[in-house]
Amino acid sequence: MNAATPAGSAPAARIPRHVAIVMDGNGRWAERRHRPRSFGHRAGQKAVREAVEFCLRQRIEALTLFAFSSENWQRPQDEVGALMELFLKALDKETDELHGHGVRVRFVGELGAFAEPLRQRMQAAMAKTAANAALALNVCVNYGGRWDIAQAARRAAEAVARGELAAEAIDEHTLAPYLCLADLPPPDLLIRTGGEHRISNFLLWQIAYAELHFTDTLWPDVDQACLQRALDDYARRQRRYGKTGAQVAQAS
């Protein structure tokens, strides 16, 4: 934690309600140490804990982490296997602690693709923590932004077929409830670690007006100070939503 900016010191409106993170750079972190990529994924777990702790301290409402994309299945089989094993172990190890901190955990994505033991643990963690309210932690696994939009469109089409929704009524407002995370405010701040400047099919719809923060820090090296720098950067932004800077300044 940066001692110059203790938790809660920034004005409330300057603290994002919802932070989303593309946790990137585990593989390079390990390769620099001449270790297998799975070593980097394991090291990344500590940064997940740091991020959760940081959000709890800052009273951020929601944290959404990109842990495994729809495209990550294309990686070498041993790496995918190591990631699945890590998820399984992490669920066994971390769920009670998260529950103890009042964190509501949700896994977001096409969960049907995972092996039964992993799916069961995900469901159990979600059920156990469902009533918690200190922080909404969303872990995106087998998630893709295009998949999300497609599943929303499919579910809306099903509602049309059942006669519950008129096709002419479909617009961005009526489609929104079918997208993942619809019950949360959209991400205010999207952080990508690891130096790449791209979205990689993360939340496409939901980040329409998110502020983007990129850092070269590799995910396993992310700590509270790094996250605080992202928040400080966010606090300096003027969010205009299509209006002029003068209009926004006047309204605030």
**Amino acid identity for residue 229 in this structure:** R
Of 179-208, which residues contact ligand IPE (CB under 6 A)?
194, 196, 198, 200
Least distance (Å) from ligand IPE to the CB of residue 100? 26
Q: Which of 15, 19, 20, 23 binds ligand IPE (CB under 6 A)?
A: 23
72 belongs to the catalytic site: yes
73 annotated as ligand-binding: yes
Residue with smaller CB distance to ligand IPE, 59 or 198: 198
Of 3-42, which residues contact Mg ion (CB under 5 A)?
24
Q: Which does 200 bind (CB under 5 to 8 A by kind): ligand IPE, Mg ion, none?
A: ligand IPE
Within 8 A by CB and 6+ apart from 137, the residues are 52, 55, 62, 63, 64, 65, 98, 103, 104, 105, 106
205 annotated as ligand-binding: no
**What's the angle, vertex CA 37, arms to CA 25 and CA 124, rounded to 5?**
85
**Amino acid identity for residue 20 in this structure:** A
> Token match 């209006």: residue?
243
Binding mask 72-111 for Mg ion (x = CB under 5 A): ----------------------------------------
Binding mask 109-138 for Mg ion (x = CB under 5 A): ------------------------------
Which two three-digit tokens encode residue 242? Answer: 């299509």
Residue with smaller CB distance to ligand IPE, 68 or 107: 68
Contacts with Mg ion, residue ranges (CB under 5 A): 24
Q: Which positions make up the binding site for substrate?
A: 25-29, 37, 41, 69-71, 73, 75, 192, 198-200
Contacts with ligand IPE, residue ranges (CB under 6 A): 22-28, 66-69, 72, 83, 194, 196, 198, 200
Catalytic residues, which ones?
24, 72
